[in-house]
Structure 1
Amino acid sequence: MTFETVLDAVASRRSWSSVTSEAPTHDELARIVAAAGRVADHSSLRPWRIVALRGDARRRLGKAIAKASKDRKPSDKPLKAPLVLAVVVSAKKSHKVPRWEQEAVASGVAHTMSLLLDAAGWGVFWRTGWYTRHKAMRKAHGLEKNEELMGWLYVGGVPEGRRRGSRRVVDAERFLTEL
């Protein structure tokens, strides 16, 4: 793999808010999670985990979202993709690595997974919301005291006939400074 190949893959990544009912298998997903786990991780704490929700687990998530939102009707958001990946920060006690840095590692894993899924031909979009920190979400995802839900990657097939489209190019000079 060349630098240009990786650069092109990252530069062409996009979010797919509409996906088909196809999804990666457990084995395909495990390879992606293993590779994504290689992000920079001070002290190699691995302060993250991924919870895969398929089938009825997505309906339970919809009920939890409704409970957090005080809605009577379950949310249909989790049904918009056949695979929903909950990104969880599992903070570890460390005198060297603060919690914010551990959250950054979990976020890095999520972003790397989205890049890898996109490069593998899957449609992916990242969803968050104020309710990620609600008690109903903690319960629905089986979170421990040291864990917080960061959000979800929604994953499915790319609709046939849809093209990548273009995203606005980042003006690097606006964000790159030197001392």
Structure 2
Amino acid sequence: MGPALEAVRARRSWSKVTDAAPTHDELLTLVSAAGRVADHSSLRPWRLIELRGSDREVLGRAINKANGSSGASDKPLRAPLLIAVVASYRKSKVPRWEQEAVASGVAHTLSLLLDEAGWGVLWRTGDYTRSKAVAKAHGLGKNEELLGWLYVGGKPPRVRPGRRKAVDARHHVKRMPKPKKNA
């Protein structure tokens, strides 16, 4: 089997990361590759927002505002780099759900590429991804939705890889049912 299969099998979510993060240029290289996901009509109905430093504090205030709290949530400070994943819907014959699937595909592919490059990654979501305060903080347009953030940082030393059970594909892959004779 090839390196892609091994990279996918080795992938795990990293809830704790160090303060190291890929550079902007390193990120651009990986995003360029991740953007190659299947994309009906080549709409590229997605964009990514890079949050570093004080950007994460702005997000923390928006999250608390969305939750009806004052101050700033510390959640965005748990990684040195957050990558906001935005579905940017285009006017097209391609349905909205399919455009969102492309944006999700880019995010997942990017998370695999970051992991393979040695970075710890966790895709975070939450109810506040659809809040006005968080959308405003990200400068989202009326045809855009936030799908969450990739939290990215260095993998801590001396941490054993998480043991995640392999998926039993037999429970998820079935043949199409045969048509009923009286139908």
TM-score range, shorter chain: over 0.9
The structure with the largest alpha-carbon Rg is: 2
The residue number in structure 2 matching 1:82 is 80
> Equivalents in 1 of 2:4, 2:35: separation in Å?
17
Conserved? CA contact 1:64–1:140, under 8 Å: yes
Tell me if the contact between 1:12 and 1:166 (Cα under 8 Å) persists in the aligned partners: no
Which runs of 5 or more structure 1 residues have no equivalent in the other structure? none
1:43-92 Cα distance to aligned partner (Å, 9 max, x none): 00000000000000000000000000011231000000000000000000
* TM value normalised by structure 2: 0.95
Distance in 2 (CA, whole Å) between partners of 1:37 and 1:19 is 25
Does 2:31 match 1:13? no
Structure 2, gaps ≥5 residues long: 177-183
User: Equivalent residue for 2:138?
Assistant: 141
Give the whole-Å Cα distance in 1 for the aligned partners of 2:160 and 2:138: 34
Residue among 41, 47, 56 paired with 2:54: 56
Q: How many residue pairs get matched? A: 176
- Aligned positions of 1:142-161 closer than 5 A: 142-161=139-158
Q: Which runs of 4+ in 1 moved over 4 A?
A: none
Residue in 1 aligned with 2:107? Answer: 110
- What's the TM-score once normalised by structure 1's chain length? 0.97
Residue 163 of structure 1 and its aligned partner are, at CA, apart by 2.2
Q: Distance in 1 between matches of 2:83 and 2:143?
A: 19
Task: Give the % identical residues.
Answer: 66
Q: Check whether the contact 1:114–1:153 (CA below 8 A) recurs between aligned residues.
A: yes
1:83-98 matches, cutoff 5 A: 83-95=81-93, 97-98=94-95
Q: Aligned residue for 1:65?
A: 63
